[in-house]
Structure 1
Amino acid sequence: METRAHYDSIMDRSKRITWQDDCYVELQSTPTSVSSQSEAEGPSWIQTHRDQLLRFTTHDFLKEMLNHLRKLDVLSAAEETSIMQAGGLHDQSNQLTTIISSKDSQGADAFQGFIESSDSPVAQLIINHDHMVKEHKAMLLERYDQQRERDPNSCTKLNISSRALLLVDGLSDLQQKEHDLMQVGATQGRTRNHLRQLGLAKLLEPLTRVSLPPRVSLTIGVSGIGKTTWVRHFVKQWSQGSICSDVSFVFPFTFSELNSAEKFSVEKLLKMAFPHLTDPCLIFSGSCRTLLILDGLDEFYSTLNFSDAAACSDPKKELSVDDLLTNIIRGNLLPDVAVWLTSRPRVASLIPGGLIDRVTEIPGFSPGDVQIFLQHYCAEKDFATKIWAHLEEHKNVMVMCYIPSICWIVADTLVYIMQGGAQDGLPRTCSELYAHFCAMKAEVGEPRGREPVRSEQLHGNNRKLLWSLGRMAFYGLLKHKYAFSELDLRANGIDPLLSQSSFGTGVLVREKSAVLMTYRFIHLSLQEFLAATFYLVSSKRAIFDLFSESAMSWPKIGFQNHFKNAFQHTQQAEGGHLDVFARFLTGLLCPVALRPLAGLLSLGKDDGSQKTWAAGYLHSLLVSGGAVVSLRTVNLAYCLQELQHTELLRSVEEDLRLGSLSGKLSRAQCVVLGYLLHVSPECSEQTNLSGSLNYSTVKCLLPQLFYCSHLRLENNHFKDDVMELLGSLLSAKDCHIVKLSLAENSIGSKGAKALSRALLVNRTLTSLNLRNNNIGSKGARFLAEALKMNQVLVSVNFQSNNIEEEGAQALAEVLQCNRKLVSLNLSKNTVGGGGAKKVAEALKMNQTLTKLILSSNHLGDKGTVALAGALTLNHSLLSLELQSNSISNRGMAALTSALRQNHGLVSLNLRENSIGVEGAKNMARALRENSSLQDLDLTANLLHDEGVQAIAEAIEFNQSLVSLHLQWNFIKANATKALAHALLSNSTLQLLDLQENAIGNEGVIFLAEALKVNTSLQTVW
């Protein structure tokens, strides 16, 4: 209870935390009054330490102070009673300091003396807290101001303070299982839909009035997205007092630092990293709000074992580092300290979800962000324009640029090439681009913009350094090792001093902390590229398996055997962590890609035969394999692109663009299609596979359809069995589909049931088109049950599905409780008057539906009268379509009466009914009073001249109608004359449709004369 009280006192601060405009936490602190002192005297000791007294005083310490002051007669019994009755601990402490401040110096000195002589941790905090915090912040600012922030996210022109983290509900399957670049490729850098944003300042705050601040927060992001940059920015902002002012101490660590020792205690670790703190345990007493940052879990050598690690709560006990971290995350150690972890997604998934209170994700660059970055990075504006045009043309490179660090590599390389005058032959693949990048970094001392350096000019050590770095990169990659020590460098034949050469510093980042010196490649993709260069060079002469670091293995002679071996390992690699390595290895077989490194690799002249062989080998892998196209298989298409063997890729892309894939989707084409969905925004944003698929091809492509935004699967003759597959697609956590069209298939009630199960859990689909299927009323009932729970769908099309009154009743029940559905299309069913009546009853309560289509449903006057009753109460419906429903004057009378009361309906479609002259006159009366209706369609009715003349008279006064359709209504010259006269005074009508009537030349002349005066009418048919 005591700890809870202190925690409450710490959290009791005056602050407003906004959350999506309508949810916030208001934390009010009680204003305190301080006894005034003259400026000459300066602040008293109590005034100087008042905030600390109120913040850190505990119940026990308060009692000790009161007993001491009573013994010295500083406090009277009445004063002590008034203090104890003041309220909570904060108020009691406030009352005590107020009373002491009002007394003479003897009382204040006694109060001060007691605290300064006490050995209580509370007293030490009261006395030393501010000094300790100031010293700690100064040290952090000095440390982090000296670090090189290479991450493009740290660019001042792309200020992190203007960006936000995304609050996510755990990790997707893709994030848990796949390589970072495969994640970015599959999603094209898009984040999941409907994610809340969270600024760094709110990282440690509760989200609602009733929630608690998170103890353990996890921020995920792919390699190069800027996790460390965000951490450094947070530390700097906190140290400057800009954010989280209620946090007393922030202790940032990197997991690469923690690799340096086998055992640590909490106390030893803090003293070693922050030697200015004489008593770290004082900070962790629970009185101070403290944050421990653990950055880069993916760089930790050990595995955190949450099931077997022995529990420990003693901060002075030495534990293995993995057990130490496990106990901190579990809360056995430092239970009152907030913990912020950062990690790449796949490694983060190893932490049990129940231990994480909040998960946030760092978003990558959008295409707009890439453009902004290029504009800021390129001094020459035309360079930014040319680079952007090049990226748009080569989508495989563009996708990589959604990662800020890679965007920097791409921009740095392309600008260098363009400054050298080679603006026409820019790299078309990632392999070619990275080869240029390494060649650029190897040009020691050469100023930017000169002619490319010849191989004989290259620094003599660069060739050996490239091979050694490649070896370290390759075997590090196999071990999932991404941070290296000086021992690692020496073990791979790299002199740490040589690593500081131009080439070394161009590809390695050297970071020094209080604990350890670490090295890492500037991005994971560069480590993978250098690993590929090592493997390519070594495989030319190796006689043993290079994947075995020891020399003992089965003999493998010849490059082709080593190449096949690499792909076997790639296909079997857990989580696809060798995918990008395989792409680079393949890409380096293209002579164009290899050319920039010719002087560094000494591979001799390439006649292109290896490229031809590799293309054939990859094609053989494309056509083999299981029934489902996995991401491992899609990576083969990436490899073909890197090899610049693109005939198959271009063929499938052209067929997809033209909609001519029908009958052409073999397994190889399905693999390529999966690849195109990754790299082409046009393909994934609207994927048109209409008339192209069957059960087998859907099953084959299913894992690649998760990431489409708008998926069109029309006219594929799908039956209910396919809906089981699509149901699993929509149910998946990874599903990104926003719009799905299944029109013109053969889906029945069983398929609708499978779809309904998916809609119960789907959180992305906003539009569903089931036009021209056969779900019937039974299927409508299944879907209605899902729609009652679904809070995402806003538009559903049930046109032509044999839905009768029973099905309409089920959907009407949806309208009574669903608060998200905006558009509902039930046209060309047989809901009848009874079904319309059920829908009308629901509309009286519904306030969200804006568009309702009931055309061709045999509503008759009975159904129309029911809907009219709903319109007198419902003012949120904007569009109502009642075409072809046998509505006569009787139904029209009720409908127009409702229109005189309704002030929400904007569009009304009454085409192809049986509305006569009397109905037209009723409509005319409604138009005189209604001020909301803008679009009225009375095409193909029985209005005749008399009815249209009445409407024309109403138009003279109506100021809302914008379009009026009177086609095919037996109109002659007299009615046209009346309309022309109305146009002389009407200033809002923009469209008038008089087609298929008998207005004759005389009617045309009337209209022509009116148009000389009227300036609003834009279209006359």
Structure 2
Amino acid sequence: MEIPELDKHSKNNKVQGKTSELLVPSCISMKSDASMVTPLKFKDEDSSLLHSKLQEKRSKSPAPSCISMKCDASMVPILTFKDGDYLLPHRLGSESAATNTFLKKLKTNLIKKFQHLNGLIINQGNQTLLNEIYTELYITEGHSGEVDKEHEVRKIESASRRTTEDTPIKSNDIFKPVSEQDEPIRTILTKGIAGVGKTVSVQKFVLDWAAGKANQEIHLIFPLPFRELNLLTDRNLSLMELLHVFFRETNKTEMSSLEKVLFIFDGLDECRFPLDFQNTVRVCDVSESASVPELLINLIKGNLLPSALIWITSIPAAADQIPSECVHRVTEVRGFNNPQKEEYFRKRISDQILANNIITHLKALRSLYIMCHIPVFCWISATVLERMLGEAESGEIPKTLTQMYTHFLIIQTNIIREKFPKKQESDKEMLLKLGNLAFQQLKKGNLIFYEEDLRETLM
């Protein structure tokens, strides 16, 4: 393959790098002679690193050359630009058509994936749009280095009382420093009890970015939930191969004009593989194969793509798996304060008279109203009370947590019965099997389960 010449300065500079069959290198854009170091030219055997687009005849405007980023011992000195960024590329004056097509496809796919509230069954065949009912969560600065083992239910009431003590942070602003004097934020750890809204907060952040509403200074976002990463623990992959598993569009695209990338690792408490930050092999090359835990650890530590942004979410009890020195900011999702509770019900229930009746009922019952501090309980309460107060269901209106959960379970069972009318086993048999499955997994410390876990329980 003929390597196109970059300019007259590049003839005597070479980068030697081990290449692999599937390698998408980081790229560096060339600004001007005054603001760049001497460009680099590849040896003939390194030509596989170039995108096929670079084989075409160059125009007068400079196009980026690509280099494989190796560890310190095997690479030339890191190139540092005047704004301090390195390794990841700088934006060109105009993005290539390929890049535009890639970004459009990625954002379209992310919108399709995140526009609905995932996993929430409200009515058969219906899905709820996130933007229609999303209510801003109460998020504050948190503290690193704490290991919180207190039972989550006991923290709910005390947390609900503290929602007026600290300055709230909007979910779209979590990467923005408090003041101009603060250092840029690279890695964020967001903590919060189960059901408090961490995943929905991530969902809204990605959706607003993909729709062009916020955080447009970020050029790429890759959401990688731990519950999906768990399925790849038996494979060795390069970072680019890992991204291709989740985002097929990354395979054939040139990303040379994209400089700031955000990786979101949601649900650290659901992680089923160990994260050994002390004894993990160093990985610095996006083409180097390693295990999924090794790739994640090197991303978080900054060995791999040090300019990338990292966002990790977790319940407090699992957050100590990430060393405090690797975290630049800790935030805490505290759920809904009292005004946000009411806002949620008015958005969730289209009939405003019914919404007011639901709010009045919950306010009259202290334990239920306190529990509505947790957004997922607001959803459960809305699902139950919308049917019962709206006279779609008969029976006593729930006044206790047990009654609320029991009615919710009945509603969900009825939906499943309507959806699968020919299922053989009874509701009682199904619930007992699911209860046994949940119990066995909790004994193992697992908060989620997969198909193979179900098979194991039923054997």
Q: Is this a same-fold pair by TM over 0.5?
A: yes
* Distance apart, 1:154 and its partner CA: 6.7
Q: Deviations over 1:204-263 (max 9, x none)?
A: 333332333211112222222222222222222212222222222111110011100223
Change (3 A) 1:461 1:213: same
SS at match of 1:197: coil
* Distance apart, 1:339 and its partner CA: 0.9
Q: 1:437 aligns with which of 408, 412, 415?
A: 408
The 5-angstrom pairing of residues 837-852 of structure 1 reads none
Amino acid in structure 2 at the alignment position of 1:187: A
* Distance apart, 1:196 and its partner CA: 4.5
1:817 alignment partner in structure 2: none
Change (3 A) 1:135 1:278: same
2:107 alignment partner in structure 1: 137
* RMSD between aligned residues: 3.9
Q: 1:187 aligns with which of 138, 142, 159?
A: 159
1:854 alignment partner in structure 2: none
Change (3 A) 1:316 1:387: same
2:303 alignment partner in structure 1: 332
> Is it true that 1:214 corresponds to 2:223 in the alignment?
no
SS at match of 2:265: strand
Q: Contact 1:286–1:337 at 8 Å: present in 2 too?
A: no
1:916 alignment partner in structure 2: none
Amino acid in structure 2 at the alignment position of 1:474: F
> Is it true that 1:349 corresponds to 2:320 in the alignment?
yes
Q: Deviations over 1:15-50 (max 9, x none)?
A: xxxxxxxxxxxxxxxxxxxxxxxxxxxxxxxxxxxx
Amino acid in structure 1 at the alignment position of 2:249: H
**Which whole-Å CA distance do the structure 1 matches of 2:389 and 2:305 have between them?**
54
**Which whole-Å CA distance do the structure 1 matches of 2:230 and 2:218 have between them?**
28
2:435 alignment partner in structure 1: 470
2:240 alignment partner in structure 1: 267
The 5-angstrom pairing of residues 68-83 of structure 1 reads none
* Distance apart, 1:124 and its partner CA: 12
Q: Contact 2:226–2:270 at 8 Å: present in 1 too?
A: yes
Segments of 5+ residues of structure 1 without an aligned counterpart are 1-59, 68-82, 91-108, 448-457, 495-1021
Q: Contact 1:249–1:290 at 8 Å: present in 2 too?
A: yes
Q: 2:141 aligns with which of 134, 148, 168?
A: 168
Amino acid in structure 1 at the alignment position of 2:143: G
**Which whole-Å CA distance do the structure 1 matches of 2:314 and 2:162 have between them?**
19
2:450 alignment partner in structure 1: 485
Q: Contact 1:65–1:114 at 8 Å: present in 2 too?
A: no
Amino acid in structure 2 at the alignment position of 1:255: F
**Which whole-Å CA distance do the structure 2 matches of 1:210 and 1:474 have between them?**
50
* Distance apart, 1:488 and its partner CA: 2.0
2:221 alignment partner in structure 1: 250
SS at match of 1:259: helix
**Which whole-Å CA distance do the structure 1 matches of 2:262 and 2:424 have between them?**
47
Change (3 A) 1:465 1:421: closer
**Which whole-Å CA distance do the structure 2 matches of 1:370 and 1:110 have between them?**
60
Change (3 A) 1:327 1:123: closer
SS at match of 2:382: helix
**Which whole-Å CA distance do the structure 1 matches of 2:414 and 2:275 have between them?**
42
Amino acid in structure 2 at the alignment position of 1:298: D
> Is it true that 1:361 corresponds to 2:332 in the alignment?
yes
Q: 2:287 aligns with which of 306, 316, 319?
A: 316
Q: Contact 2:381–2:404 at 8 Å: present in 1 too?
A: yes
> Is it true that 1:408 corresponds to 2:373 in the alignment?
no
2:397 alignment partner in structure 1: 426
2:19 alignment partner in structure 1: none
* Distance apart, 1:360 and its partner CA: 1.9
SS at match of 2:358: helix
Amino acid in structure 1 at the alignment position of 2:59: Q
Change (3 A) 1:124 1:415: closer
Q: 2:361 aligns with which of 375, 379, 390?
A: 390
Change (3 A) 1:150 1:324: same
**Which whole-Å CA distance do the structure 2 matches of 1:467 and 1:305 have between them?**
37
* Distance apart, 1:317 and its partner CA: 3.2
Q: Contact 1:166–1:197 at 8 Å: present in 2 too?
A: yes
SS at match of 1:211: coil
Q: TM-score, normalised by structure 2?
A: 0.71
Q: Contact 1:167–1:361 at 8 Å: present in 2 too?
A: yes
* Distance apart, 1:151 and its partner CA: 10
Change (3 A) 1:429 1:164: closer
* Distance apart, 1:327 and its partner CA: 1.7
Equivalent residue pairs, number:
383
> Is it true that 1:300 corresponds to 2:271 in the alignment?
yes
Segments of 5+ residues of structure 2 without an aligned counterpart are 13-31, 38-55, 68-88, 123-127
* Distance apart, 1:88 and its partner CA: 4.3
More helix by share: 1
**Which whole-Å CA distance do the structure 1 matches of 2:9 and 2:291 have between them?**
40
**Which whole-Å CA distance do the structure 1 matches of 2:446 and 2:416 have between them?**
31
**Which whole-Å CA distance do the structure 2 matches of 1:307 and 1:141 have between them?**
38
Q: Contact 1:312–1:332 at 8 Å: present in 2 too?
A: yes
Change (3 A) 1:129 1:204: farther
1:658 alignment partner in structure 2: none
The 5-angstrom pairing of residues 85-104 of structure 1 reads 88=35
**Which whole-Å CA distance do the structure 2 matches of 1:307 and 1:412 have between them?**
46
Q: Contact 2:387–2:393 at 8 Å: present in 1 too?
A: no
Q: Contact 1:149–1:229 at 8 Å: present in 2 too?
A: no
Amino acid in structure 1 at the alignment position of 2:99: H
**Which whole-Å CA distance do the structure 1 matches of 2:210 and 2:137 have between them?**
20
Q: Contact 1:443–1:459 at 8 Å: present in 2 too?
A: no
1:538 alignment partner in structure 2: none
Q: Contact 1:309–1:326 at 8 Å: present in 2 too?
A: yes
**Which whole-Å CA distance do the structure 2 matches of 1:388 and 1:334 have between them?**
48
Q: Contact 2:185–2:328 at 8 Å: present in 1 too?
A: yes
Q: Deviations over 1:371-414 (max 9, x none)?
A: 33333444555544443343233322222111111111122123
Amino acid in structure 2 at the alignment position of 1:143: K
**Which whole-Å CA distance do the structure 2 matches of 1:366 and 1:164 have between them?**
8
* Distance apart, 1:423 and its partner CA: 7.8
Q: Contact 1:115–1:123 at 8 Å: present in 2 too?
A: no
Q: Contact 2:138–2:335 at 8 Å: present in 1 too?
A: no
**Which whole-Å CA distance do the structure 1 matches of 2:430 and 2:57 have between them?**
70
Q: Contact 1:427–1:433 at 8 Å: present in 2 too?
A: yes
**Which whole-Å CA distance do the structure 2 matches of 1:306 and 1:110 have between them?**
46
Q: Contact 2:91–2:257 at 8 Å: present in 1 too?
A: no
Structure of higher CA gyration radius: 1
Change (3 A) 1:398 1:147: closer
* Distance apart, 1:353 and its partner CA: 1.4
SS at match of 2:181: coil
Q: Deviations over 1:179-212 (max 9, x none)?
A: 3322213333633723342440x33333332333
* Distance apart, 1:416 and its partner CA: 2.5
Question: Percent identity of the aligned residues?
Answer: 26
The 5-angstrom pairing of residues 926-945 of structure 1 reads none
Amino acid in structure 2 at the alignment position of 1:491: E
1:112 alignment partner in structure 2: 59
* Distance apart, 1:66 and its partner CA: 12
Q: Contact 1:286–1:336 at 8 Å: present in 2 too?
A: no
Higher RCO by CA contacts (8 Å cutoff, separation 6 or greater):
2
Q: Deviations over 1:131-187 (max 9, x none)?
A: 432332233233334673639997545545xx36634141596x7222332221333
Change (3 A) 1:139 1:209: same
Q: TM-score, normalised by structure 1?
A: 0.34
* Distance apart, 1:300 and its partner CA: 0.8
* Distance apart, 1:279 and its partner CA: 6.2
**Which whole-Å CA distance do the structure 2 matches of 1:196 and 1:248 have between them?**
26
